[in-house]
Structure 1
Amino acid sequence: MKRLTLVTCLLAAQGCGYLPALPGSEPQLYEPTIATLEPVVRAAPAREVASLSLLELADRYREVLAVAEDPAQRLQVRRRLADLELLAREAEDIEDGAPVSYAEVIAAYEELLQDYPDTEGSDQLMYQMARAYDMDGSNPESVALMERLSIAHPGSEHLAEAEFRKGEAYFSDGDYRRAEQAYAQVAGAAGAEDYRASSLYMLGWSRFKLDRKEAAVDAFTESLDTLLASGDEFEALPRGDREMAADCFRVMAVIFDGGGGATAVAESFAQRGPRSYDHRVYLALGELYLEQERYQDSADTFAGFAAAKPFSPVAHEFDWRVIGAYESGGFPEAVIAAKASYAARYDTEGAYWQKAEDEQRSIMGDRLRQYIDELARHNHALAQGEEDDAAAAPLYHAAADYYGDYIRSFPRDEQVPDLALLMAEARQAGGDYRRAIEDYQWMAYRYSEHPQASEAAYAAILAFDQLTPVEDDDAAALVASQLQFAKTFPVDDRAAPVLARAVSGLLEAEEYALAADNATVLINWQPAPGSELLVPAWLQLGHARFELAHYDEAEAAYFRALALMSDEDVRRAKTTEQLAAAIYRQGEIAATAGDHLAAADHYARIVAVAPNSSVRVNAQYDAANSYRIAGDLNQANQLLLDFRRRYPQHALSAGVGAVLVQNYETLGDWRGAAEELDRLGETAVDADEKREAQYLAADYYLREGAIDTAIERYRTYAHAWPQPMGPRMEAMLTLAGLYQDQGDVSKRHYWLEAMAAAHEQAGGNATDRSRYLAASSMTEIADAHYATFVELRLAHPLEKSLARKRDALDDTVTAYERVNSYGLQEYGTRATYRLGQVYRQFSADLMNSERPDGLDALALEQYELLLEEQAWPFEEKAIAIHEANAKRAWDGLYDEWIALSFSALGDLMPARWGKQEARVAVSREIR
């Protein structure tokens, strides 16, 4: 069941709940109903059923009920039927929007409760019946049922809801004492988590109505603890919960206002313990005072929190509200003092700022900009209006300090140059000439493009004349200031070239940081287009940044230099090489750090921006390798294919194919891998590499489903690579299987024969696997010959049919003898048995052959004697072969083919072999 809260119900489109008003007005009543809860549906085994409407399903249950005789079954069907009727009414109510009567559903549940008063789950029946009453608009009856449920079923899962609804009814009737009892029971009940926050909230209101303020604060605090259990996540709460929490804060503010204000709040949290949301209580109280135009009380409340918790994440907000309270009340001096306090407390170098999050700093920063600027200008204006120099000096110093605070706090602010000039002027006006010189120089040379920068620099030079006493370093400092003025604000043609030569000297002295700084200054002068100084300045900056290992900045500098060069500039080629080197170093750093995708992107950029550089070859290969490591195999493959096409003779190209095969394998691109293996097979010098590539390519074509190509590759391999034996045998086995799949018996037999021949010709290279495959293959071929032999009939003219029969016999015998030659029992006993049967069959076929027409009795007798003479040697041979097979049992070997030989001997020589007096041990061992 989903969680039900009062405020959630209030704010939901069809929800409801209480949101009591503050004292002075009655709380607005929103009646929650059971209809807002989801019905309890018992889980049923998952199975596919026909799609039926609720009413159709109810009709089916009525049909079952009409024939059901078992009481338990009838109860179950009636309960399910009542639930379906309730669901159907709900669906109709939602879809049509017209009033729907639940009387029949209520009656059904009432009958169930009457007929089965003590049945298990009667609390569920009461609960469903209460829902029906509630949907029918009969709230009193619904509540009465909940009261029955509470009494009759104290352990029911619906008990918490029953008590909660009782509390709502009592509160609505103004019976706050009984409401308090009901809500307290829900709040303390186990398993009532869904109602805890709402019940505590209403418990607080019940106590508030009973004028039990301290107890009300306890309840509101517990409600807030429940709502904000994970911390002060007020804004993240659902809208209903957020409104409930806000109302808790408002009511608590009213209570504390009547009990001592901010002091009472502090004492309350000291007694109850700190909370993550305690600042919201102060906030509610302070805003209450503002509404009442009690500005000092509001300011004191806000300041009280900031003083009590100076490092709270929201302390700065409360000090800001202090300023707002004074501004609302029209207290200008208090406003200035509060802003000064704010600026000191939340200084960007202070402890609070250092601990603050970025969002807090952003808010405080905006306010500090405003307040520090106002404080500086306020003191400056006061100093300028003061006629007594002695009295004005401290004001000038204060103004200068505030200007300095602003600049220090917000060095990138657009006002900084103007404020720096004002700071220097204030120091000079206050008699602090040395610091004024520093400030003038800082402003002038830090913001040399500012319209007043040259004036500031000149003012610094003039201020040297006011220094008393003069110190030893002042003269050198004055010269440095003049040189800096000439460099930053050139008045003749020698200034810029002198600085350019200085940068060159710094590079030669390996003072790269200073060289970079001064090269930047030279660039910032922005000489006229076509100036001979600008390109060298960018190049110098690039060299300095490169040596400092700031390769990204070096890259940017080289780009700027190239942009200024013409296509014919002789410096382009070298600069492009330096650019490529800077990018390549960035790739190396990324690769070392394990960021291979970033490394790949860097290397790939060289291909784009410096395609003719000397490092382009390595960069492209490294880019492909880095993309491969990073997992972007498609990008890696594109680069590798392009690399091999561009640099076919490069040493790295030789390994591209193997890498591509790996990548294609990982991608499952079997055709791509196979085609690459074809290429490797064609170009490989080493025979084993060529052979392995051809074999693997055939396998990958097979995986791809390119059967014809796979057959061609396996056939080529089998013919071209007689050794090693194993792969060739497997290739021929695969070919035999593929031809079998295609129904091509002739080609399958060809490769079966080839496997047998390969084993027989292998000599010392033969293996157990090759022997097994040869025996299996030749057995299938022999069986085919045997089938042909059996099918041939001896008919007139006997000479011709007998010749064909003898040829078939010879082929069959030769094949089975080859099987026997492999020495595998699994196939040898079978072959021996079949050999015996071949001769036996031939003998029988001779005897059963067609007799010539026109023979008289004597001639026919002589003809049959002749046949017997011809047939008997074959039968004798059959007996000998079967006996040889049967005698294997004496060596401990026995299988179905030996058993068949025994059976054949029983037919051929019943007197000798018709009985078996001893049981022979069976062995399945293959020898």
Structure 2
Amino acid sequence: MLAWTIFKQQRLEESLDSFVRVLTDKAGDTGEKSLETLRKDIYRIAAIIASERDGARTLQAAIDRAGRAELAPPLYDALMDFYLRKEAYQLAASVAETFINAYPWDPRAPDFQARRVEVLFKGRLPSLAWRERERFVERFGLDSAYWKQAGEGLRVKTAETLFTYLDKLARRAYAQAQKKGSARKDWQRAADWFSQLVRVYPGDPRTAEGHYLLAESLYALGEDTRAIRHYDMAGYDYPTWSGRAEAAYAGIVARERWIKRKDATEQDRKSRVDALLRFARVYPEDRRAEPVLLTAAHELHDLGIHDRAYLVAAQLAQSTLNRTRKFESWKLAAISADALGRPEDAEQAYRSALGLIGSSHAQWRPLRDGLAAAIYTQGEQARQKGLMDEALALFRVVLREVPESPVRKKAQYDAAMLALELQRWPQAIELMQDYRDTFANDTLAATLPENLVYAYAQSQQFDKAAAELVVLARAEKDPERARRARLQAIDYYLKAAQPRQAIAVLEDYIARHPQPFERQIQARAQLTGLLAELGEHKAAVNARKALVKLEAEAGPARTPITRTLAAEASWKLALTELDHFTQVRLTVPLKKSLKVKTRAMKAVVAQLKTTLEYGLLEYTTAATHTLGRVYRIMAADIMGSERPANLSELELEQYNLLLEDQAFPFEEQAISLFEANARRTVDGVYDAWVKASFAALAEMVPGRYNKQEQSVEVVHALY
């Protein structure tokens, strides 16, 4: 190897460059044991060469010439190891310093600083070593530029050494400050180190004592506010630390001095009470807990703070106080909870207080009333939160446990309304009926009948709901409310499948409520439908005739809805007449039967014309087509009428010609009406009746109208 040759020629710096180049050439090779041995040999030779010249500076110059900074850490390590073997501790320490100066941001920089500290201690240079620990904090601590640019992994690695050094530096300063005759600056120095220490591993158990000693240092400096904060952190944030109770109590003591040193405000006193309560809560088994709690109770009494007064009173009531004191504590807790709007806590406290006295006690009745009010308030709050089941249960507790309370009436009414809302129909009905019986003269009782109707309806007891509505309608002084009640009763009777009862109420409605007119006509239309469904066709026809007549005579009161209903009634009357017309058969003697048939035809034609007069398209096309159909039927029936017996062939032929003469005008009239209906397509009207007219024309006048029909038939045939 050329580098060895140059080295043997004592061309040291040149050989160092050559060795560095070898490292550079082999930088990418891994896994071969011979290569690793080669690297170690080169590191050792490089250290020897550097030591023969200017130490770390010579080494750094070779690295700079090669431009391979990544080789610096192992080369510097080798040089330090070389000096340590020679026990040249200060030289070894200087190598670390040179590396840090050359590579201040390198991930190994903290390691070299730590080695520097280690080397100085090993070399029995403690003052320098302590100074280098301080420099480690300055260079790589939480406030350093190095720390701010370091990644998470590097921070984790550096933090261990940082914490160790800060702990040693802080404890050393703290011990110095505790010595007799120490100056303020000694406490300040200890506080500074501890302030940095607690930031390295916040929340870690190792940090707990750091907070406590920082607080002690700050307390010695008279910085009570900061001291209190760190006492509390040590006392409450580290549950596994053995000294936490002492730290927490020290915080209470510090607050005592803090309040005495200033003109304490109400907020200051509240803060101290918070600390007292916190200590008693976190350390209930501590020998100082009960005195602290009693102190807090007195302070809260002076301040009139209800929430904390409740807390302390409840705690005192559960402690080892005598029976009388328990009662007073529970009573205070109940009153405080009431003032705070915390009815659950109030209920518990009232029950506990009542459990300590008898019914003859002067406080028995007031506490019972308080209990009822607390339970009712819980129900109200549950209802506001949408917890309806819970609210209902709570209202019923009032009825069951404190029925003599003034709150009972409201609780029962609210329970009934909630049962309605929750669809607990039997329960709601029971509660409302009992309320109506118990508080008959109460204004709220007047609202219950309508709610009873609702409960009956929702529980599918429609007949009972309807019957209740009928009674309400009869008793109702407001005509409009009575009218609506009857309408609702009709609906409920229909839902109960009791159409005859519905008809009775409808007839009552028609008789009592002529206005509003539109609703009157709707009621009549509904009546005709029900009568028809029950098979009472004659009554249905009479009702339709009455509807048509009433609507026709209404003048300006008529509306599109009334006209539509009247048109529908007229149309159905026409269909009734049509049915009668089609049933009349033409028999011999023809003159007699034709007279009957003609009279039936005139009746249906007249009714259809009445229907046409409404001018409603849906009935206009139907009536027009049906008129055509009537005339066509008349023509067909004439042609298909019974022939007299015993006619000769010639007489029969002449008779048929006479029938054709009779039928022809009807057939022409039918065609004219069908054509009139068909022409509505020009106006964009093509409903089932127009289509039927086209079909009739295709049959009656195929030469003119059957073409499209043929096309349609072909399409159907294809399908």
TM-score (norm 1): 0.42
Q: Does 1:410 align with 2:279?
A: yes
Deviation at 1:369, TM superposition (A): 1.0
1:323-342 map, 5 Å: 340-341=216-217
Q: Secondary structure at the match of 2:646?
A: coil
CA deviation string 1:551-581 (max 9, x = no partner): 7576555434533455677975554334334
CA distance in 2, matches of 1:898, 1:550: 75
Q: Is the 8 A contact 1:795 1:849 kept in 2?
A: yes
Q: Does 1:308 align with 2:96?
A: no
CA deviation string 1:77-127 (max 9, x = no partner): xxxxxxxxxxxxxxxxxxxxxxxxxxxxxxxxxxxxxxxxxxxxxxxxxxx
Provide closer, same or farther for how the CA distance between residues 408 and 700 of structure 1 changes in structure 2, counting only shifts above 3 A.
Answer: closer
Q: Is the 8 A contact 2:587 2:641 kept in 1?
A: yes
CA distance in 1, matches of 2:507, 2:463: 19
Q: Does 1:634 align with 2:422?
A: yes
The aligned counterpart of 1:165 is none
Equivalent residue for 2:139, pick from 247, 267, 277: 267
Provide closer, same or farther for how the CA distance between residues 299 and 805 of structure 1 changes in structure 2, counting only shifts above 3 A.
Answer: farther
Provide closer, same or farther for how the CA distance between residues 444 and 797 of structure 1 changes in structure 2, counting only shifts above 3 A.
Answer: closer
The aligned counterpart of 1:353 is 229
Q: Is the 8 A contact 1:836 1:877 kept in 2?
A: yes
* Amino acid across the alignment from 1:410: F
The aligned counterpart of 2:115 is 258
Q: Is the 8 A contact 1:843 1:874 kept in 2?
A: yes
Q: Secondary structure at the match of 1:850?
A: coil
* Amino acid across the alignment from 2:161: L
Q: Is the 8 A contact 2:456 2:462 kept in 1?
A: yes
* Amino acid across the alignment from 1:267: R
Q: Is the 8 A contact 2:398 2:411 kept in 1?
A: yes
Equivalent residue for 1:285, pick from 161, 170, 176: 161
Question: Identity, % of aligned pairs?
Answer: 25
Q: Secondary structure at the match of 2:586?
A: coil
Q: Does 1:618 align with 2:492?
A: no
CA distance in 1, matches of 2:670, 2:386: 76
CA distance in 1, matches of 2:274, 2:486: 77
1:72-87 map, 5 Å: none
Equivalent residue for 2:245, pick from 348, 363, 369: 369
Q: Is the 8 A contact 2:678 2:693 kept in 1?
A: no
Q: Does 1:652 align with 2:444?
A: yes
The aligned counterpart of 2:626 is 834
CA deviation string 1:818-870 (max 9, x = no partner): 31243435533542453354234314422332312212367547755775786
Q: Is the 8 A contact 2:470 2:486 kept in 1?
A: yes
Q: Is the 8 A contact 2:317 2:330 kept in 1?
A: no
Q: Is the 8 A contact 1:580 1:610 kept in 2?
A: yes
Q: Is the 8 A contact 2:585 2:597 kept in 1?
A: yes
Q: Is the 8 A contact 1:624 1:637 kept in 2?
A: no
CA distance in 2, matches of 1:405, 1:860: 124
Q: Is the 8 A contact 2:416 2:427 kept in 1?
A: yes
Provide closer, same or farther for how the CA distance between residues 373 and 829 of structure 1 changes in structure 2, counting only shifts above 3 A.
Answer: closer
Q: Secondary structure at the match of 2:355?
A: helix
Q: Is the 8 A contact 1:733 1:751 kept in 2?
A: no
Q: Does 1:721 align with 2:509?
A: yes
The aligned counterpart of 2:84 is none
CA deviation string 1:889-908 (max 9, x = no partner): 9xx98967899999999999
The aligned counterpart of 2:484 is 692
* Amino acid across the alignment from 2:279: F
CA distance in 2, matches of 1:811, 1:355: 109
Provide closer, same or farther for how the CA distance between residues 544 and 360 of structure 1 changes in structure 2, counting only shifts above 3 A.
Answer: closer
Q: Does 1:761 align with 2:550?
A: yes
CA distance in 1, matches of 2:134, 2:655: 138
Q: Is the 8 A contact 2:466 2:493 kept in 1?
A: no
Provide closer, same or farther for how the CA distance between residues 358 and 406 of structure 1 changes in structure 2, counting only shifts above 3 A.
Answer: closer
Q: Secondary structure at the match of 1:410?
A: helix
The aligned counterpart of 1:225 is none
CA distance in 1, matches of 2:581, 2:221: 111
Q: Secondary structure at the match of 1:794?
A: coil
1:432-451 map, 5 Å: none
Deviation at 1:647, TM superposition (A): 0.8
CA distance in 1, matches of 2:335, 2:684: 91
Q: Is the 8 A contact 1:794 1:805 kept in 2?
A: yes
* Amino acid across the alignment from 2:601: L
Q: Which has the larger radius of gyration?
A: 2
Q: Secondary structure at the match of 1:853?
A: coil
Provide closer, same or farther for how the CA distance between residues 346 and 585 of structure 1 changes in structure 2, counting only shifts above 3 A.
Answer: farther
Deviation at 1:616, TM superposition (A): 0.8
The aligned counterpart of 2:399 is 607
Aligned CA RMSD, in angstroms, stands at 7.0
Deviation at 1:314, TM superposition (A): 0.7
5+ residue gaps, structure 1: 1-168, 177-206, 215-249, 324-335, 377-403, 421-441, 449-483, 485-509, 911-927
Provide closer, same or farther for how the CA distance between residues 709 and 170 of structure 1 changes in structure 2, counting only shifts above 3 A.
Answer: farther
Q: Secondary structure at the match of 1:820?
A: helix
The aligned counterpart of 1:580 is 372
Provide closer, same or farther for how the CA distance between residues 355 and 877 of structure 1 changes in structure 2, counting only shifts above 3 A.
Answer: farther
Provide closer, same or farther for how the CA distance between residues 318 and 416 of structure 1 changes in structure 2, counting only shifts above 3 A.
Answer: closer
Q: Is the 8 A contact 2:378 2:391 kept in 1?
A: no
CA deviation string 1:427-454 (max 9, x = no partner): xxxxxxxxxxxxxxx7897699xxxxxx
Equivalent residue for 2:607, pick from 800, 815, 820: 815
Q: Does 1:850 align with 2:642?
A: yes
CA distance in 2, matches of 1:638, 1:210: 90
1:154-173 map, 5 Å: none
CA distance in 2, matches of 1:714, 1:252: 99
Provide closer, same or farther for how the CA distance between residues 886 and 354 of structure 1 changes in structure 2, counting only shifts above 3 A.
Answer: same
Q: Is the 8 A contact 1:664 1:670 kept in 2?
A: yes
CA distance in 1, matches of 2:199, 2:164: 24
Provide closer, same or farther for how the CA distance between residues 591 and 714 of structure 1 changes in structure 2, counting only shifts above 3 A.
Answer: same
TM-score (norm 2): 0.51
* Amino acid across the alignment from 2:432: R
Provide closer, same or farther for how the CA distance between residues 322 and 656 of structure 1 changes in structure 2, counting only shifts above 3 A.
Answer: same
Q: Is the 8 A contact 1:739 1:745 kept in 2?
A: yes
Deviation at 1:284, TM superposition (A): 3.0
5+ residue gaps, structure 2: 1-27, 37-67, 76-106, 118-132, 174-189, 253-272, 299-303, 703-719
CA deviation string 1:500-554 (max 9, x = no partner): xxxxxxxxxx9x99x999999998999998x9x998x689758975996777576
CA distance in 1, matches of 2:643, 2:329: 115
Deviation at 1:367, TM superposition (A): 3.4
